Structure 1
């Protein structure tokens, strides 16, 4: 997805993992995905740079779709679509 498309996403769940180092953001995402219905999108806010590779890898492993990442001032927004 393009950055413009990502900015227009309305996530059904937002996980704020800013200020938490690895593996905090991925653990928060694993816990929160249970609250997201199939087809809905979860947004993860993270300051840990490792999240940029950890979240997409976790999403793929779990059968979800990683939509992309947007860099904000001091943190990233990562988007995952629940697929099952």
Structure 2
């Protein structure tokens, strides 16, 4: 996987805040750069899948580590 260009900490936030923070983070990146989003909201797994489909940004990776959900998006 490429180097993460930016990381957004959305832990403790519930939908739709992690998506909004991700959107803001992606806006600061160049096309092709990676954004990692850290979440504690279990619903974020489905939310980020839908977000990627709707926006055309690639969902490169999703992981669950303990009670955290890690999403990696590639800016289109």
- State the TM-score, normalizing by the size of structure 1: 0.83
Residue equivalent to 2:72 = 79
Residue equivalent to 2:18 = 25
- State the TM-score, normalizing by the size of structure 2: 0.91
RMSD between aligned alpha carbons? 1.2
Moved over 3 A (4+): none
Shift of 1:10: 2.5
What is the total number of aligned residue pairs between the two structures? 76
Gap regions ≥5 residues in structure 2: none
Residue equivalent to 2:35 = 42
SS in 1 for 2:37: strand
Greater percentage in strand: 2
Distance in 1 (alpha carbons) for counterparts of 2:9 and 2:51? 17
Greater percentage in helix: 1
